[in-house]
Structure 1
Amino acid sequence: MNEFIKEGFKRIRALWYLERSGCVFCGGHPSPICPICTRELLHPELGRCLRCGKLIVQERTLCKDCTEGKGPKYLKKVIAWGHYTGCLKEFIQNVKFGANPMRMMQISRPLADWAIRELPPVDGILAVPMHSTRLAERGFNQAELIASLIHWELGLPILQGVKRVKATPPQVSLSRQERLQNLKNAFALQSKELFQGRSVWLIDDVTTTGSTLDAVAEVLYKGGAKEVYGLCLAAGFEKVLVPGFD
């Protein structure tokens, strides 16, 4: 990235922080992320399913679906920063659908600090690619935005070379089997040499079943990638294992 543009973003982010006096998510507490939002949205007391990223009880390493072999198969590990609900869900949707990408700068440091604690160092980071038609509609790829923030905070190289070659319907309303079929042959490598022997953090905003991450990871492994880890802002939780949540 051009150093002038990079420095400009740093200054914008600094000004943004100076203008804010409350929690990024709820605005109701004089701290970047207040204790209430940390507890109710980020759930540090819960574990994450290693295969799909769902929030689960700390004693488990896999959710029920992944234990039964229904989860992703190509990802070394998946982590999700928080639970896709409440103010975190509103934050993500405001960025994505409210044409407000600059808001993502507010969480770059805490997200990066958490990610480097939860995942091993890698050769680079890759955003889940967006099809050109949807990119034209939205104007930006939120996964690329997150990857850029991680790059600025941690210095990890941004990798290119995977393209979304099929325009697929949104995954949100589909069953797991429909999601898998929907993503079949949706991604393609532009060059096999780009990922040969490399370890990668694969970035997206939200994961539900891990199907999208896994579809990209499959392509990366076919291109010779060594290890692929998923990193997302938010995921659901396994209600049967975490009673008492709404």
Structure 2
Amino acid sequence: MFRSLLDIIFPPLCHLCRVYIPNAGDVHLCTSCLEQLHPVASPLCPICGVPFATEDGIDHRCGACSVRRPAYVAARAAFVFDGPIQELIHRFKYAHKTHLSRPLALMTARHLADFAGQTAADIVIPVPLHKKRLRWRSYNQAILLAAVLSKEWRIPLSRNALQRTRWTEPQINLAADERQQNVKGAFAVAEPERVADRRIILIDDVFTTGSTVEECAKTLKKAGAAEIFIITVARALSN
């Protein structure tokens, strides 16, 4: 009865199109918006997780991972960065809609539950923000996502194990090669004993070129981490 009363006072609406949703559940997206999501699926690169254009075939290494293996073991994203997912992430990240961290993380947790389990991870670590950007935004979107994922997967969360030690320009404004230079040497592990010999899931919102998570993985490896796995809500695809 209390739930029914709440629905009358605060009717459950779709986070995107604002249509009323009976039995909204914990994600609060209507059927129409859910049907527009594009989950990342095989065939894909088993290392960086990029999906291939064809719908047929088996997983195999992409050209980039065949030439140079990244510092992390494997990366996976739940959805392609387009349509409703892109809109939700933009609202979450740039419009201070922090409540969207929960539906984004819950959908990610469900889509990537098998992968997360296979990592046998010891801790979850979010990609950190520089203090200057944190003051401007007032929250780190990766921490909000990681908090939900940590709880869903029952893997301990280490919020401050990885730190961003210098200011970097927003990656969105840079080309791929500029992104690598932009984040080079930008991270540090304050207490290496917190990551030494640990299997780590590194969390971020979007995997674009992979420059940021690659630099984070290198830093964690230098500090003694055993293996690093990357999980993001979305994967941006090049045209």
What is the TM-score when the length of structure 2 is the normalising length? Answer: 0.81
Match of 1:203 in 2: 203
Which of 94, 98, 103 aligns to 2:95? It is: 98
For residues 184-240 of structure 1, the C-alpha deviation after alignment (integer angstroms, 9 at most, x for no partner) is 11001102111111001000001111110010111111111111000001112355x
Which of 87, 95, 118 aligns to 2:115? It is: 118
Find the aligned partners of 2:166 and 2:121 in 1 and give their Cα distance.
28
Is the Cα contact below 8 Å between 1:63 and 1:238 reproduced in 2? no
Which of 46, 57, 62 aligns to 1:50? It is: 46
Find the aligned partners of 2:42 and 2:238 in 1 and give their Cα distance.
11
Q: CA RMSD in A?
A: 2.6
Is the Cα contact below 8 Å between 1:52 and 1:207 reproduced in 2? no
Is the Cα contact below 8 Å between 2:42 and 2:59 reproduced in 1? no
Letter in 2 for 1:114: H
Find the aligned partners of 2:77 and 2:65 in 1 and give their Cα distance.
16
Match of 2:228 in 1: 228
Tell me whether 134-143 or 79-88 shows the greater mean CA deviation: 79-88
Match of 1:9 in 2: none
Match of 1:146 in 2: 145
Is the Cα contact below 8 Å between 1:95 and 1:103 reproduced in 2? yes
Identity of aligned residues (%): 28
Letter in 1 for 2:70: K
Deviation at 1:84, TM superposition (A): 0.9
Deviation at 1:35, TM superposition (A): 6.3
- Pick 1 or 2: higher relative contact order, CA cutoff 8 A, min separation 6: 1
Q: How does 1:68-83 map to 2 (within 5 A)?
A: 68-69=67-68, 73-83=70-80
1:43–1:29 distance in 2 versus 1, CA, 3 Å: farther
Deviation at 1:150, TM superposition (A): 0.7
Q: Which runs of 5+ in 1 are unaligned?
A: 1-13, 240-246
Find the aligned partners of 1:108 and 1:138 in 2 and give their Cα distance.
19
Letter in 2 for 1:128: V
Deviation at 1:38, TM superposition (A): 5.2
Letter in 1 for 2:223: G
Deviation at 1:123, TM superposition (A): 0.3
Find the aligned partners of 1:44 and 1:211 in 2 and give their Cα distance.
20
SS at match of 1:172: helix
Match of 1:66 in 2: 65
SS at match of 1:90: helix
Match of 2:3 in 1: none
Find the aligned partners of 1:238 and 1:139 in 2 and give their Cα distance.
30
Find the aligned partners of 1:39 and 1:62 in 2 and give their Cα distance.
29
Find the aligned partners of 2:66 and 2:35 in 1 and give their Cα distance.
27
Find the aligned partners of 2:123 and 2:111 in 1 and give their Cα distance.
17
SS at match of 2:173: coil
For residues 23-73 of structure 1, the C-alpha deviation after alignment (integer angstroms, 9 at most, x for no partner) is x5556695655666556433354444333333324623333333343xx61
Find the aligned partners of 1:83 and 1:29 in 2 and give their Cα distance.
26
Match of 2:104 in 1: 107
Find the aligned partners of 2:93 and 2:60 in 1 and give their Cα distance.
30
Instruction: Give the length in aligned residue pairs.
Output: 221
Tell me whether 140-149 or 115-124 shows the greater mean CA deviation: 115-124
Find the aligned partners of 2:107 and 2:51 in 1 and give their Cα distance.
19
| Pairing 1:87–2:84 present | yes
Tell me whether 186-195 or 115-124 shows the greater mean CA deviation: 115-124
SS at match of 2:112: helix
Is the Cα contact below 8 Å between 1:82 and 1:235 reproduced in 2? yes
1:45–1:201 distance in 2 versus 1, CA, 3 Å: closer
